[in-house]
Every structure is written in structure tokens, then in C-alpha cells.
Amino acid sequence: MTNDKLKMREIVEQYYKGNFQVIIDNIIDNIKWTSHKMSNVQLKNKQEVINFLENVPKGRFTFENTNFILDNNNVVVEGICRYKNKDAKEIENFYCDIFTFESNKIRNISAYFL
């Protein structure tokens, strides 16, 4: 695995650990972040991403990444997200997120959540 691919994977792994500053430091200004499940997550620039990440409840979600696929510009992550809903019921959802890089910075995130 090349150094660029290792760096891309390390950046993405930090997102799932809740280290959002690493994501913020590694996105382009006109990033596009699209959720194909949650209509409120249609972000079009760095400031919108910052605002969104600042409102993610710390510790509410746990992520188990089950598969990483890397190519020259993309990191695809499949996994399981676990959390408790407002009624304290344990919820388990599956995700597939695609992080597209340009010059070692994230330019696009496409998120699928089932």
C-alpha cells in the first residue's frame, strides 16, 4: 500500500473514532457531503461540514468498520453503526461511505445508511 493510500485510510479512520478535527483539516473548501438517507445532510462547503460535525453528539454512536476498499482517489468503508434511539432502544444500522480525495484532501463524501 502506498503512503498516499495509507494517509487517506488514516484520515478516514479518524472520522469513525470521532476525531473530527482531522477530517476538518483534510477537506477542501468546496467539499460536497451527501447523505442518501438523511435529507438534512447535504453539505456544500467546509463551513457546513464544520457546523454539522460540531452538532454530532459525542459518544452516542459506535462504529464497526467491516471493510475498507482503497484505490488511487477513494476510500470506501462498509460497517455497522450502533446507537440508542430516543426511547433507549438499541439500533443497528449498516453504512457504506465513499470518501473521494483530490491532492490528499477529501473533496466528496457520499454516505449510504441502511
Task: Evaluate whether 78 touches 96 at the Cβ level (below 8 Å).
Answer: yes
Q: Print the domain residue range for 48.
A: 3-113
Query: What are the DSSP E strand ranges found in 1-114?
Result: 27-35, 42-43, 62-70, 74-84, 90-102, 105-113
Residue 57 is predicted with a pLDDT of: 81
- The pLDDT confidence band at residue 38, using thresholds 50, 70 and 90, is low
75, three cell numbers: 476510500
42: Cβ contacts below 8 Å, ≥ 6 apart: 33, 34, 35
Which CATH number characterizes residue 66's domain? Answer: 3.10.450.50
Q: How many domains does the chain have?
A: 1
Write the pLDDT tens digit of every residue in 55-78: 988 878 899 999 999 998 999 999
